[in-house]
Structure 1
Amino acid sequence: MCRFTSYNLPSFVWTFLSVIAAITCSIGIYFSNWIERDAVNGNVNAMSSYRVCIGHGKISLGCDSYLSFGDIFSPEWQACTIMLGCGACLLILVALTSLFGLCVRKLFNLVICIIIVSSQVLAVLLFVVSLVIFPAGWDEPEVQEFCGTDSGSYNLGDCRIGWAYILTIGGTVIAAVAASISWCTKKHKDEYELP
């Protein structure tokens, strides 16, 4: 049976935001709708750092992933893929740990809390860097073929930012808010509890 005795209101808010951030970022990474272009048949062509969908509906299910890591178009997108994967793993680990902390009394001591919150901050940093360097890969020939010759670094040409990229930005902001709640709560307490 779960006991909530070691949690306070900021801890519940931190847990809720951590879980929401992990879910939204994971969904944003999974779908390839980072950059989109309308297709002739009314569907949407979509592309992300590691997947391409041609002629699918508004939500890109059943898309093709690159066959190998070397097939990813640009070094920026390769770095982005690695950082997004590591960041997502950290956010999921933080979310699961925070949920487990709801059920285990006094699970979190100072060392565990610092590790968990530092992991969340590191995940946010990985996501921010990934979201910033992703547009640097728009000057690759494959992206120019997809988005038109006017596309280049930080210029989408005939494409637009997709909903999955925006969702990932939102999840990153939520994770940053969660991390700041935990650090601010720590500063105002004599005895450290999560967050």
Structure 2
Amino acid sequence: MASSLTSVGIVWALLSFVSAVASCVGFFMPYWLLGSQMGKPVSFGTFRRCSYPVRDEERQATVMLEQCGRYASFQGIPSLEWRICTVLTGVGCGLLLLVALTALMGCCISDLISCSIGRVAGGIQFVGGLLIGSGCALYPLGWDSEEVRQTCSNNSNQFQLGSCEIGWAFYCTAGGAALAILVCMWLACFAGKRQKHYPY
């Protein structure tokens, strides 16, 4: 099978895929912030939430509905910072996924990835990782929203968790971005084979 990647390039393709999957899975899962409300576990992502209070008209009381879902609209996301975080992280994940899929195709297709294209791909990974990292850095600014304060015993504030804790999805997303910036970007410079020049 023809390949346009060097042996370093194959490692780069695999790590790029791992980085993209980690970031995308972490971004989609609503387990960035974990807490409890009315005795039920509650978790938040950037644009999704698990367990939320609803009014039960039969019992004339507020009960916790234990299911996960997206906010009804983009404006429904609890804070401006989380909206910005959603956009930045989503675009960053898209860039990492694009490079990872291109890198994997380079394992099977000759002349797809040259030295210069590998460097460009590394630059795209750097930008994608930077966007995701920026989104992760903005996320704690939304901890002062009313929804989060209700879940964290009214003790949370920007960069203060109160009774809540950071969930595995946040670390997964940030870890994928760090892998893209610190490792994949560097390996991309050595990923592509030198193109053969034919005298015509």
TM-score normalized with structure 2 length = 0.82
Report the residue type matching 1:175 in the other structure: A
Structure 1 Cα separation of the partners of residues 80 and 37 of structure 2: 27
Q: 2:51 aligns with which of 44, 50, 54?
A: 54
Which has more strand, going by share of residues?
Answer: 2
* Structure-2 residue corresponding to 1:165: 170
Structure 1 Cα separation of the partners of residues 195 and 38 of structure 2: 58
* 2:96 and 2:125 in contact (8 A); partners too: yes
Instruction: Give the secondary-structure state (helix, strand or coil) at the position aligned to 1:170.
Output: helix
* 2:118 and 2:188 in contact (8 A); partners too: no
Deviations 1:89-129 (A, max 9, x none): 11110111001111111112355334322211110000110
* Structure-1 residue corresponding to 2:57: none
Instruction: Give the secondary-structure state (helix, strand or coil) at the position aligned to 1:155.
Output: coil
Residue 181 of structure 1, CA deviation: 2.0
Instruction: Give the secondary-structure state (helix, strand or coil) at the position aligned to 2:49.
Output: strand
| Larger-Rg structure | 2
Please say which of residues 152-161 and 164-173 is displaced more in the overlay: 164-173
Q: 1:44 aligns with which of 32, 41, 46?
A: 41
1:127 aligns with 2:132: yes
Tell me the percent identity.
31
1:97 aligns with 2:95: no
Q: What pairs with 1:67-146 in structure 2 (closer than 5 Å)?
A: 67-146=72-151
* 2:46 and 2:86 in contact (8 A); partners too: yes
Deviations 1:45-79 (A, max 9, x none): 11011111018xxxxx9512111111111111000
Report the residue type matching 1:165 in the other structure: F
* 2:37 and 2:151 in contact (8 A); partners too: no
Please say which of residues 110-119 and 120-129 is displaced more in the overlay: 110-119
Instruction: Give the secondary-structure state (helix, strand or coil) at the position aligned to 2:107.
Output: helix
**What number of residue pairs does the alignment pair up?**
182
* 2:16 and 2:184 in contact (8 A); partners too: yes
TM-score normalized with structure 1 length = 0.84
Describe the shift of the 1:62–1:17 C-alpha distance in structure 2 as closer, same or farther (beyond 3 A).
Answer: farther
* Structure-1 residue corresponding to 2:14: 16
Report the residue type matching 2:29 in the other structure: F
Describe the shift of the 1:192–1:175 C-alpha distance in structure 2 as closer, same or farther (beyond 3 A).
Answer: farther
Describe the shift of the 1:161–1:14 C-alpha distance in structure 2 as closer, same or farther (beyond 3 A).
Answer: same
